Amino acid sequence: VGVSIAFQDVSERQQREQALRRESEMDPLTGLINRRGFERLLPSRLAYGGQKLALLYLDLDGFKDINDSHGHQAGDVILREAAGRLQQAMRQSDLIARVGGDEFCILVTGDAPTDAARSVADKLVQVCSEPLRFGNATVTLGASIGIAVPDGTSLPEVLLRRADEAMYKAKREGGN
């Protein structure tokens, strides 16, 4: 009776799979998590954080005008700079993702999530209103931000929808 045993090192394949997953969940322009990555993380954050988090949905006001008047290349430069500023304004415990063209989601944590979210939102509005330079041009953006807090029964997609709706309401009312 003969026995044959074969071993195969799968660590390299696993590393490639992890790298592909990271790439599929990262925004190549800003280096932030993308919508796919955010939607994968949100359920676990909701389960772990429970009532101690808030979701901010941020839209850069005036970004479309920059793309229209200065071109998409300039828009990309501005978007990278704006994303970097937003990320620097965040607290260590918060999570930011680029979920669309000029839209970002921010998960804010803390014992008083509504107060923390308002404080972070105020800081983000201030950061967004600071002039941005590219080439010889200077532009100023604004921000419309919606805030949603889980009610204990909130599904991730419900929380996202409520934050998105609050952002559009803020936008209709002239931004934050």
Q: What are the catalytic residues?
A: 102
Tell the residue number behind the tokens 């080439």, with chain if given: 135
Residue type, 52: K
The shares of helix, strand and coil residues in the chain, as percent rounded to the nearest 5, are: 50, 20, 30
Tokens of 77: 């430069």
CA nearest to 104, candidates 74, 71, 80, 139: 80
Q: ∠ at Cα 119 (113, 125), nearest 5°?
A: 130
Check if the beta carbon of residue 166 is closer than 8 Å to that of residue 148: yes
Residue type, 76: D
**Nearest-angstrom CA–CA distance, 39 and 25:** 10
